[in-house]
């Protein structure tokens, strides 16, 4: 994952409503949720929810799959894991380096 992809992913989560939608989709698991299910769980107006879903999909944080007249939304766990790894990959590196220099 490069800096641009990471920034887009974190920016997509930078809204309370989008973060709420994403967490609900993560909780739903691989089966995902329809837009109407998301509306019921969030109370977000349909047009606003569509905007948030488009933003999350654009950052590749969710997948959307048409099933007849419904759209199933799923969290993209691989992308979310990459984001987590991106932000944590250098965790405590300075402490390790400092300990090596003092030891």
pLDDT at 95 (0 to 100): 82
Q: Which residues of 66-93 are buried (b: 16+ CB within 10 A; e: fewer)?
A: eeeeebbbbbbeebbebbeebeeeeeee
pLDDT for 103 equals: 62
Token pair, residue 15, equals 């809204």
3-class secondary structure, 13: coil
Rounded distance, CA 3 to CA 18, Å? 21
Q: Which CATH architecture has domain 3-102?
A: Orthogonal Bundle (1.10)
Residue 66 three-state SS: strand
Mean pLDDT by 10 residues, the chain (103 residues): 94 96 97 96 95 96 94 97 95 78 72
Q: Enumerate the domain spans of the chain.
A: 3-102
Give me 6's structure tokens: 């990471």
């Amino acid at each position: 994952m490069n800096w641009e992809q990471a920034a887009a992913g974190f920016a997509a989560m930078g809204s309370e409503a989008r973060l709420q939608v994403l967490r609900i989709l993560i909780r739903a698991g691989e089966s995902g949720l329809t837009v109407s299910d998301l509306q019921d769980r969030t109370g977000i107006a349909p047009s606003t929810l569509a905007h948030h879903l488009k933003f999350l999909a654009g950052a590749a944080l969710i997948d959307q799959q048409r099933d007849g007249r419904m759209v199933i939304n799923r969290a993209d766990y691989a992308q979310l894991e990459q984001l987590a790894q991106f932000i944590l990959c250098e965790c405590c590196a300075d402490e390790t380096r400092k300990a090596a220099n003092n030891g």
